[in-house]
Amino acid sequence: MKKNIFILAILILCLGFYGYAEKAPKELKVFISVDMEGICGVIHWEEVSRNGKDYDLFRKLMTLETNAAIEGALEAGATEILVRDSHGSGRNILPELLHPAAQLIRDWSGGPLSMMEGIDSSYHAAIFIGYHAQANTPNAVLDHTMTGTIYDVTLNGKKMPETGINAFIAGNFNVPVILVAGDKAICSQAQELLGQVETVAVKEGIGNAAKMLHPEKALALIKEKTTAALKRIKDFKPFKLTPPYTIEVTFKDEERAENASWIPGAKRTGPTSVSFTSSDFMEVLRFFKFAR
């Protein structure tokens, strides 16, 4: 009798432990890349420049939008969050105001992952905050692609905003982009390129002007949509292209194209354009880093 009671007690303990294990939160690592031109309220280059009169205001709003994404991720069960400051100097987000649950990468190492530095295959989702449309997009706020010297970038024939280039990087680590926040133009480009992706349009370009949400409304939407996206994370797929990968960069002037054409493996494709092909995505990124 005592033996049977002992066995029954062991079974109850095992079942209890199994039930706990089933309910225990799984690991959920989230990578957040943050640019500045797409932050709510931003409309002029001066506002995203370290020498601009209102730069301190907008770097604070940049930090708050990042925090909104972090809070949304935590609400969805995120266990680890890494933030990559991806604008200009890489030293814009205010560390003391950043949510303490996240780690932050500041400045540039010089590596080819650039705005995605720190990501690897251990992450489950990528989020882009403060992003903007590709160069020469109508009714877009501060549209450009990486630098002011580039007119256009394509990957395997597809036009690439920074969202596309960075989603390509994430995809090569099997990490899906689940949310993009910025102006209406980049939200449209992200949906066209990535398909299933949550977006938050915090403003809408009107020529050189823009219609803005109130920053508090933008923060609430970013948090809400981040949580919603992570709760249906299985709906998102990494953005992948079929190798070999061909990147073509069209510059605004011929001199830069001539300089880039001397990179080993590069091919001049026009007066201001250069292409490079490889089945190794890191080689493509290295070319792009040195070409621009």
Put the strands of the sheet holding 267-270 in their side by side order.
158-159, 150-155, 245-251, 273-278, 267-270
Q: Which of 87, 132, 144, 214 is catalytic?
A: 144
Beta strand ranges found along the chain (DSSP E): 29-34, 80-85, 102-105, 125-131, 150-155, 158-159, 177-183, 198-206, 209-212, 245-251, 267-270, 273-278
Residues ≥6 apart with Cβ < 8 Å to 41: 47, 57, 58, 61, 203, 212, 215
Q: Name the amino acid, one letter, at 132.
A: H
124 as an active site residue: the answer is no
**Structural tokens at position 200:** 């938050």
Structure tokens at 87: 């604008």
Nearest to 189 by CA among 140, 238, 147, 116: 140
Residue 165 in contact with residue 114, Cβ under 8 Å? Answer: no
Dist. CA 177–CA 19, nearest whole Å: 32
Whether residue 68 contacts residue 202, with contact meaning beta carbons closer than 8 Å, is answered with no
Give the residue among 166, 223, 160, 226 at the shortest CA–CA distance from 193: 160
Name the residue among 41, 127, 22 with its Cα closest to residue 83: 127
Q: Is 147 helix (H, G, I), strand (E, B) or coil?
A: strand
Q: CA 43, CA 210: separation in Å to the nearest integer?
A: 7
Query: Tokens 């797929």 correspond to what residue?
Result: 237
DSSP state of 99: -
Residues catalogued as catalytic: 144
